[in-house]
Amino acid sequence: MRRLLLLRHAKAERSQDGGRDHDRRLSERGRRDAQQAGAYLARHGDMPNQVIVSPATRTRETWELAATALTPRPPFVFEPRVYEASLQTLLAIVQKTAPGVQSLMMIGHNPGMHELAAHLIGTGDVDTRQRLLEAFPTSGLAIIDFAFDRWDRLHAQAGRLERFVTPRSIAAATD
């Protein structure tokens, strides 16, 4: 069994004139949402064995803030190919994951995170799947389970959507 956690980076500030998209930082709301995502993972015992993070500033900050709640902190790598990646590139990155990694987390960007989740999900709660297909907002977290034992077996519709949470759904559940 394998588990893939896809986390879209938290809300970022708007681009500054002449600024690079790669360098955009998290907004205040984004910082709160990233911490909330990490707390959610810790509270539900969803600890990845490995984390792959886009090197963009907003994804790095999302990881750093989310990781404060994760004990022990899982190993992570900054993977340049995740930034502005196509679906095929993201699939290839996941498929090359080491066999010993049972639970992999990837922190990246849309449209890639949304496309990857939609491509991999074949089963799961119908309403939850529909919510994910409609939108994958900032700090959205999709948890997808697979019945195979090697990442190189990853293919379209092979996964079951275990959960899909957003900052709004987490806040509603704790009210």
The answer to whether residue 19 is domain-embedded is no
The answer to whether residue 34 is domain-embedded is yes
The CATH number linked to 134 is 3.40.50.1240
Q: What is the pLDDT of residue 15?
A: 74
Domain that holds residue 144: 2-11+27-174
Q: What is the pLDDT of residue 17?
A: 65
How many alpha carbons fall within 13 Å on the CB side of residue 102?
Answer: 3
Q: What is the pLDDT of residue 19?
A: 66
The answer to whether residue 120 is domain-embedded is yes
Domains in the chain, number: 1
Which token pair is 155?
């293919």
Q: What is the pLDDT of residue 14?
A: 81
Q: Is the peptide bond before 72 cis (omega within 30 degrees of 0)?
A: yes
The answer to whether residue 47 is domain-embedded is yes
Q: What is the pLDDT of residue 29?
A: 96
The answer to whether residue 18 is domain-embedded is no
Phi/psi of residue 163, nearest 5 degrees: -155, 155
The answer to whether residue 85 is domain-embedded is yes
The answer to whether residue 99 is domain-embedded is yes
Radius of gyration of the chain (CA): 15
Q: What is the pLDDT of residue 96?
A: 97
The answer to whether residue 153 is domain-embedded is yes
Q: What is the pLDDT of residue 137?
A: 96
Per-residue pLDDT of the chain (175 residues; tens, 9 = 90+): 999 999 999 999 887 766 677 788 999 999 999 999 999 999 999 899 999 999 999 999 999 999 999 999 999 999 999 999 999 999 999 999 999 999 999 999 999 999 999 999 999 999 999 999 999 999 999 999 999 999 999 999 999 999 999 998 888 876 5
Q: What is the pLDDT of residue 23?
A: 82
Q: What is the pLDDT of residue 150?
A: 94
Burial class (CB in 10 A: 0-12, 13-18, 19+), 149: exposed
- Letter string b/e over residues 10-30, b meaning 16 or more CB atoms within 10 A of that residue's CB: bbbeeeeeeeeeeebebbeeb
